[in-house]
Structures are given as C-alpha cells and as structure tokens.
Structure 1
Amino acid sequence: MLIAAIFCALLAMICINVPIAVSLAMCGVIGLLVTEGAGSLVTIALDMYDGSTKFSLIAIPMFVLAGAIMNAGGITDRLINFVSAIIGFIRGGLAMVNIGVSLFFAEISGSAVADVAAMGSILIPQMKKRGYSKEFSAAVTSSSASLAIIIPPSIPMILYAASANTSVEQLFVAGVVPGLLGAAGLMGVAYAFAKRYDYPVEEAFNLPRIRETFKDAMPAFALPVIILGGIFGGFVTATEAAGLAVFAALVVSAWYRNLNLAHLRRAMLDGGIQTAVVMLLVAASVLMGGFLTRAQIPQQLAEGILSVTAQQWAILLILNFFFLIIGFFLHSAAAIILVVPIVIPLISAAGIDPVHFGLVVTLNLAIGQQTPPVASVLITSCSVARANIWAVSKVNIWFVSVLLAVLMLCTYVPTVPMFLVEYFYR
C-alpha cells in the first residue's frame, strides 16, 4: 500500500510540474521516514553526495564541454562542407548532410539536445532557404540528433552504466553498429522524401572539392580517433577519453584560429546547467533507490514477471513496451535513474546481458525524445525551425519508424550490437 501511495505521489508531483529531482528526493525521504523512522535520514546528505560523485559521471560535463568547444571553434562548419562535398550531389543532399554531420557530432558531445541546438541553428535555416519544408527540416534534424545517444560517447549510456554497475566502454562499443544502421535508414527515408517532393541537389560531384574540404577538415577527424580509438584500444577509460576530447577540441579550435569565445561561454553555461540537472537527478535517485532496495521492490518485480514468463524474448518485449511508454513522459536521464535500478534484478534473473539491455534501453529513450508530450529533442528542433510540433510529428513518424526497426533488430538479434563487444572484450 505504501509503495502505491509513494508512486502516486511521485506521478502527481511530476504532473503538476514539480522538478523531477525534487519529486524523487521528497518521495524517497517520505518512504524512508515511514518505514524506518527519522534515524534513517541522518546520513542522506552524505548518501546523495556519494551517489553523485562517481568517477564515471565526470565524463558527462567533459563531453558536453567538448561539443561546445567544437561548435564554437568552427569545426562544425568544416564538417558540413566536407559531408556536403561527398553527398551533396544526391537529391535531398542537404538533409543527408544534416544526418551525416549529426553522426559525427554525436561522437563528440554525447547529447542529443546539444546536437540539435548546434546543428539545427546552422542547417535548418539553410534547408528552408533551399526549398525544404520547415516540418521536414525540423523532423530530419530532430531524428538524426537522437543518434547522439546511440553512437558513442553517450550520456544516457554513462548514466545506465553507473546505475547498472556495468561497463560503459562495452556499452559504447555496442552502440557503434546500431548507430550506423540508424543513420543509413534515416538517409533512406530522407532520399524518399526528396524524390517525392523534388528537393534540390546541392552541388555536382567534384573530386577536387572533396580533396579540398577533406584537407580543411582533417584536424577535426582527430577527435573521434582520439575518443573511440582510445576506448576501443583499451588505452583510456570513457572518463579519461572525455578529458582528452576537451583537450583535443581546444587544440583543433586553436589550429583553425577562429574560436568564438562569446559563443563558447554561452555554450559552457548551458552545458553546466544541463550537467547540474543530471547530477541533481542522480543525487535524488540515491534516496529513492535506498527506499526501494530496503522495501525489496526490484526483487518483487522480478519474481512477479518471472512467475508469468521466463522467456527472454517475452521479458524483453514487456520491458521494451514499458520503456517506450516511460519515454513519452520522462527525460532520458530521469527514466534511466528512476527505472533501471528497479529492473536490473529482473534482467539478471532472466540471464539477459546487461550491456545488451543497456543498448535496448538507450534505443527506447532515443525514440522517447521524438514522441510528445515531453519530446525534449523534437521540441528543441521545432523551436529552431519555428514549426508546429504536431505538424512536424506527422513527418517525423517515418524517421521514428527507422529507430523502431533498429530497436527490434537489436533486441531480438543481439549479435548485431554485441559482436564488436565480443571481439574487443570477451
């Protein structure tokens, strides 16, 4: 009875716009107070501090900062020029440039909101100027930005690894193939729209132009080499790679000699606010997690579902549906912090690989970023494009269907995401 009351109170506070971190902390404190008395609250400040200062979480602000430096230092513009030279000759090429640059930017920032804010402000006005509808421009920018939480490094993957006590490096490796498949699928949908609505070709194929833009963008290519090469090669941890990414982004920006300090300052402030929100969620989740663990809710959930079915495919289907629904209403960080500790005992009991499940969770939440009412990434893209969210959603459903297809493939053909993990780590 108490558990039901606690969760009803949590949902009620979220619905009336109480910050999720505050809601989690209040419900956790009430639960501990009722079940164990006031003595259980003596150490809550220390517990919250310890929970939010895990070494792996340091990677979050570092990757956000690396993305801000990359955008302020002129690196993004050079990447756009290079990708445009490669695929600009295809009909609807600017939409594919949008997807291709998002794929690269995802390897630096790990944040879909940062991706759509950085790329959208540059590419959406250009797409509208060239005859693309604002709804299509917003949809392709929003959906491609969600690659940022599938392609490594990924902030939700870092949070999942911390919540599930699993390897963030292995999660990063598992995200490579699904991210590339997602990008290919999004480009296919963009090409179909371009053919149907006769969107323009950007420029003729020109080999000297490709060589010129490649040479100009070459220093920028050092960034993913440092991050992914260091992690995959076992030279650095994900947290250390985040620090290297910041250093490398500063060096490359200095090489180009056009670092926009005002833009960088604003981006750093935004990144700091975003990081603070995540850390508050992490700290607050410690209290709720302590209450749930002592009440043995995760164990009861595992026993309840396993009493209905012990088949892995059925359990994954139930959890996929659950996380898709959760993604409609919660930010990805909040969903991971709130739900993952509850379902991990079920995953362990069912014999499901926690790295595989982490990728499934990440894909579900990438879809959640595109589905109202919360839809944080979609709303950001619509704001930049000045487009109606429901009109954009009608277009975006075709791009979301690609992400759903990748989700189903990775859920039920685990070899797709896991063969690189097996190769590098097992």
Structure 2
Amino acid sequence: MSLGALLLALFFGLLLLRVPIGIALGLAAVLIIHLGHLGLQVVSFNFQAGIAKFPLLAIPFFILAGAVMDKAGIAERIVRLVLALVGRHLAGAALAAVLVGMFWGAVSGSGPATVAALGPILYPLMVRQGYSRGFAAALVAAAAELSIIIPPSIAFIVYATIAGTSVAQQFLAGILPGILLGLLLMGGAYLVVRARGWGRPEKVDRPLGALLREASWGLLTPLVILGGIYGGVFTPTEAAAVGVFWGFFVGFFVYKTLSLESLYRLLVEAGVSSAVVMLIVGWAGLFAWAADTTGLVDALRKALLGLAANPWQLLFLLNLLWLILGTLMDAVSIYYLTLPALIPVMAHLGWDPVWMGVVMTVNLAIGQITPPVAVNLFVSARISGLPIERIWREVWPFVLASLLGLLLFSYWPLLRQALGG
C-alpha cells in the first residue's frame, strides 16, 4: 500500500474509532511522516505555518463578536421586531425563525453558534404557537445553516485562505445564495405549517416604532461590518475586530446588558471555540502537506482531470462527494481534504473559484442538518431536550429545499454568471 493510500486509511480508520476529527487528521499525518521518514521536524513548522495567516485572525474575532452580540440581547430584540412584522400570519413564527436566522448569519458566521443563540428564543415561541417540538427544533437548526453562507462566514474565510481568493469577494458572492436559500427554507416551512394546521397570529403589545428603535443598534451590525469592508474602510480581518468593539459598545453603553463578569465568561467561551477551530486548521494543514508529499493530492488531481471531459458530470460527482463528506465532517477539514486536488482542476476547466466556493459551502451547510453527524441538530437537541432521532424526522423538508437551492447555484446559468461561474 502506498503512503498516500495508507494516510487515507489511517484517517478514516481513526474516524471509525470515534477519534475527534482534528486529532484524527493530525495523528494520521504524523504517523505517515514518521513511517515515510519525511522528517518529524516539519510537524511543528507546518502546524505553525497553517495557522499563522492574517485572514485567519478574523475567525476568533467573529466568534467573539457573535457571542458578545448574543449576550448583549440583540437576538431577542431582533426576534421581537421580526415577529411584529410577520407574526400576524398563521405561519408567522416559522417565517420569523428563518428571517432571524438569515440576519444572525450576518453576525455569527457559525451554524452551531447561531442555533445556540437563537434556539432558546425561537424554540419556545414556536411550541407556544402549536408547532410540534421536533419541527420547531428542526427549523431553528435549518435556519442556522445560512450562517456559513451569508457573510461574514467563517467557512468562507477558510476557503479563501486555501483557494487564494479574496475574502471580500467570497463574502459578496455569499449574499445572493444566502437570501435565495433563506426564501426556499421559508417556502418549505410555510407549506409544512399550513398543511398541518399549526400556528396562530402572534399578538404584538408594543408599537412597531418602539420595537424598531430597540432593535436598530443590532440591525446596524451587518451594515457596520459589511459596509466597512466594501466601502474600503477596513479589511475583513479588521472588520471582525470592529464587530467585537461594536458589540461591546451596544452591550455596555446602549442596552447595558453586559458586565465585567459576563465579559470574562465571553472571552473564555470565545477562546475555547476559537481554539477548537484553529486546532482543526493546524492539523488539517499538516494533513494536506502529508497528502501532497506522499503523492495523494497528485493522484486525486489526475483522477479529477480524467473526468474533466464532461464538466457537468464532474460537478455532479463533486456535489455528491461534498454532500456525503458534509454529513460526516466539519467544513474546515473538508476544505483541506479536497481543495488541494481541486484547485488545478478548476483552473483547467476555467471554473471561477469564488463561484465554486459558494457551491462547496452550500453543500457543507446542508451537511450541518443532515444525519448522521448534523452538528446543528445536535445543538438544537441539547436546547430542546429532544432525542436527536425526533428532530431528524422533521428536518427533511428543509434538506430538500436546500438541495433545490444547490441545484440552482450549480447549474442555472444566470445564477452561475451572477456568482462568477
């Protein structure tokens, strides 16, 4: 068995043994480096080089910004405003859940973090409106998948770093797909709610103007972050830091919901979450180096080029591969596993890497709500107290709606052209 094949076998074998993905990537790479006499001294250098990249600095800042804005009370105020706008409809709570999920995607950048922020607010609201508990938990998880598509997206930052695209361009390309996918999820939720006879109009006991004033500071958040990026005021990495200070300003001086004690807890929470992501980035980078050195990347590249005679067939197979991997692994690991072999193929076919980043990320977003792993569903299960199997049974309409969006982004010429493909 070649070293490249052994590398893959070790990695998937460790996954079957339930070893965490980041550790499995790193352990498989280190073992191959040792067995292949490639020099163990490269481990520390490659690990450091993998995370010492300026665009990746945005990841811990965006994680902290999402945590700060959640604890500042922005999510609760946004929910109240959206309910006042659409709550009069019978399916208003379901529509509000997706709309708030779309907005929070422009704050958080992480699917599980969005479920954690919005679930405690949206889940009891929908249950109170007569929705089944499983459906309510599934809808919150599905709305949160938009967080890795709508900018600022942590997934897009990692993709752009590996593929060599502009983070700002990648963010811009995610806006239209995020909105369209949100509309498809709203359509699916509306059909299910109406078919099952759930819901009732939500009574709003406060004037819309007062709710709008309360939520206005939160509504300005995406404008501050994205407006600064596309206005040329600051880079995406600097925008992440600005988002943190904006959240602190709103929480400490406007809503006055944050304290020094809560600040300490936020820093610890964001530090732990950032460490997990960066650990995966570091070990995945080492795995990618080992795969390249052992010839695995070149073998995969040749296999993909062999299918390049029919680009539509290749695109279908890539979508299928990413969908399967997305149900088993996190987005960061999948980027590092597949992009090194795919980048030269994209250049050969003339595929725009920004468009391909959108297609790939939509696949991985669907994986966040598709069993068996489905990280968003597990967070939603913890919040709702339901067994994961009960939520799985209710999530399929949203998986199908998301797959429809994926087909449109992949094959509809107008959308491909709009996204650069």
TM-score, normalised with respect to structure 2: 0.94
Identity fraction in percent = 36
In 2, the alpha carbon distance for the partners of 1:296 and 1:156 equals 27
Give the Å deviation of 1:390. Answer: 2.4
Q: Is the 8 A contact 1:74 1:259 kept in 2?
A: no
Amino acid corresponding to residue 152 of structure 2 in structure 1: P
In 2, the alpha carbon distance for the partners of 1:223 and 1:365 equals 26
Partner secondary structure for residue 235 of structure 1: coil
Aligned to 1:44: 43
Query: 1:219-248 deviations in whole A, cap 9, x for unaligned?
Result: 222211011112223332211111111111
Aligned to 2:85: 86
Aligned to 1:358: 357
Distance 1:292 1:318, change over 3 A: same
Aligned to 2:323: 324
Q: Is the 8 A contact 2:105 2:148 kept in 1?
A: yes
Map 1:275-290 → 2, pairs under 5 A? 275-290=274-289
Aligned to 1:249: 247
Q: Is the 8 A contact 1:139 1:393 kept in 2?
A: yes
Distance 1:330 1:96, change over 3 A: same
Partner secondary structure for residue 207 of structure 2: helix
Q: Is the 8 A contact 1:108 1:153 kept in 2?
A: yes
Partner secondary structure for residue 41 of structure 1: coil
In 2, the alpha carbon distance for the partners of 1:261 and 1:337 equals 38
Q: Is the 8 A contact 1:72 1:260 kept in 2?
A: no
Structure 1 residues 122-131 or 177-186, which shifts more?
122-131
Query: 1:262-294 deviations in whole A, cap 9, x for unaligned?
Result: 555444433322211111111112322222222
Aligned to 1:95: 94
Aligned to 1:123: 122
Map 1:132-211 → 2, pairs under 5 A? 132-203=131-202, 209-211=207-209
Map 1:331-342 → 2, pairs under 5 A? 331-342=330-341
Distance 1:282 1:407, change over 3 A: same
Aligned to 2:390: 391
Structure 1: tracts of 5 or more residues without a match: none
Aligned to 1:230: 228
Aligned to 1:110: 109
Partner secondary structure for residue 120 of structure 2: helix
Give the Å deviation of 1:184. Answer: 1.1
Give the Å deviation of 1:82. Answer: 0.8
Amino acid corresponding to residue 232 of structure 1 in structure 2: Y
Q: Is the 8 A contact 2:119 2:380 kept in 1?
A: yes
In 1, the alpha carbon distance for the partners of 2:282 and 2:158 equals 12
Aligned to 1:22: 23
TM-score, normalised with respect to structure 1: 0.93
Give the Å deviation of 1:296. Answer: 3.3
Aligned-residue CA RMSD (Å): 2.0
In 1, the alpha carbon distance for the partners of 2:372 and 2:393 equals 14
Give the Å deviation of 1:101. Answer: 1.1
Distance 1:323 1:404, change over 3 A: same
In 1, the alpha carbon distance for the partners of 2:420 and 2:204 equals 37
In 2, the alpha carbon distance for the partners of 1:211 and 1:78 equals 13
Q: Is the 8 A contact 2:91 2:199 kept in 1?
A: yes
Partner secondary structure for residue 199 of structure 1: coil
Q: Is the 8 A contact 2:151 2:171 kept in 1?
A: yes
Query: 1:383-418 deviations in whole A, cap 9, x for unaligned?
Result: 211223223222211011111111111111364265
Give the Å deviation of 1:218. Answer: 1.3
Q: Is the 8 A contact 1:178 1:417 kept in 2?
A: no
Q: Is the 8 A contact 1:59 1:243 kept in 2?
A: yes
Distance 1:260 1:196, change over 3 A: farther
Distance 1:119 1:261, change over 3 A: farther
Distance 1:308 1:147, change over 3 A: closer
Runs of 4+ aligned residues of structure 1 deviating over 4 Å after TM superposition are 260-265
> How many pairs does the alignment contain?
419
Q: Is the 8 A contact 1:142 1:377 kept in 2?
A: yes
Q: Is the 8 A contact 1:323 1:361 kept in 2?
A: yes
Give the Å deviation of 1:261. Answer: 5.5
Aligned to 1:370: 369
Distance 1:261 1:386, change over 3 A: farther
